[in-house]
Copies of this chain bind each other. A is one copy, B any other.
Amino acid sequence: MGGSFAAALTKRGLARVIGVTRRRSTADSALEMGILEEAGPDLDEIGAADIVVLATPVRTLLRQIPEVASRVRRGAILTDVGSTKSGILEALRAAKSPATVVAGHPMAGNERAGLDGCDDKVFENRPWVLIGDRLKATRLEQLVAGVGARPFWMKSPQDHDLKVARVSHIPYLLAYALMGTPLDAIRVCGNSFRDATRVAASDPDMVMDFLLTNQGPIRRSAKELQARLEKLLRLIDRGDAAGLRKSLVRARDLRGKL
């Protein structure tokens, strides 16, 4: 995600992007790809930046925040692109950074992790969630809009984490549960199964990063989904054609608008 953002900003000439990476080889690859201007492993570089974008996986980031947050200068914006927000915002606030903290989550991406998944068009027309003081985040909002995303302000990290559990983490879990279907049945599967399991092809470490940092909202969303599934199953068991049709028509009409 960090690579894609760097590529999108550089390609459009929206910012001078400096990459700070854990491994020098990642910095070298990024430079070779031409997706940023300077890159290296020196963490002190971030002291000069107007906007610092933390782009490591959530669980790594939670460990790095204390070390990183203090180095960002007063007046700069400190943001991130992590896929869950409660833990990160808690850590950012605890770190008492002199910068303006605005948490972020571009609702975009693909199945590939790291620079391998780098795609400067991935943000186009996708929501980019932001949480923090909007009045102090104008420059960040301009960059987000500049790469084609739609800035989407949310009130709290809890609000964000419940929403993404409902529309993203649950579809992932259903895909994994479906992939446990007996193999003799999978042999005759059609498009409904293929579509529903597409995200199971994702990088496991990328997926674990959001599943293992969003337990509460995932459990709650799963309960809600199971209740709705049970309601449908009862309509089928009872042979309630009118009731079932009503649910199916509502779903079709709503899906048609997505």
The CA of A207 and the CA of B109, in the complex, are separated in Å by 32
Q: How many copies does the complex hold?
A: 2
Q: Is A49 an interface residue (CB 8 A)?
A: no
Interface residues of A in 220-256 (CB under 8 A from B): 222, 224-226, 228-229, 232-233, 236-237, 239, 241, 244-245, 247-252, 254-256
Task: Please give the distance in Å from A127's CB to the nearest CB on chain B.
Answer: 5
Interface status of A208 (Cβ within 8 A of chain B)? yes
Q: Which residues of B lie under 8 Å from residue A254 when comparing CB positions?
A: 179, 186, 200
| B193 A196 Cβ-Cβ under 8 A | no
A171 and B186 alpha carbons, distance in the complex (Å): 12
Report yes or no: A175 in contact with B196, Cβ–Cβ below 8 A.
yes
Q: Is the interface of A mostly helix, strand, loop or mixed?
A: helix
CB contacts (< 8 Å) of A189 on chain B: these are 107, 167-168, 258
Q: A188 contacts which chain B residues (CB < 8 A)?
A: 107, 127, 129, 152, 163-164, 167
Partner of A176, one of B127, B166, B241, B247: B247
Flag if A197 contacts B163 (CB, 8 Å): no
Interface residues on A, range: 35 or more
Instruction: Please tell me if the beta carbons of B195 and A256 are within 8 angstroms of each other in the complex.
Output: no
Please report the C-alpha to C-alpha distance between residue A55 and residue B249 in the assembled complex, in whole angstroms. Answer: 24
Identify 12 new A-B residue pairs, CB closer than 8 A, beyond the known A126-B190, A176-B247, A200-B251: A129-B188, A167-B193, A168-B189, A171-B193, A171-B196, A179-B251, A180-B228, A195-B195, A195-B198, A201-B255, A207-B248, A215-B239
- CA A207 to CA B247, docked complex, whole Å: 12
A5 in contact (CB, < 8 A): no
Q: A13 at the A/B interface (Cβ < 8 Å)?
A: no
Q: Is the CB of A184 within 8 A of B163?
A: yes
User: Would you give the 0/1 interface string for A198-218, flagging 1 where the beta carbon is closer than 8 Å to chain B?
Assistant: 111111110110011001001
Q: Is A135 an interface residue (CB 8 A)?
A: no
Shortest Cβ-Cβ A-B pairs, 6 listed: A204-B248, A179-B251, A167-B189, A171-B192, A166-B185, A171-B196
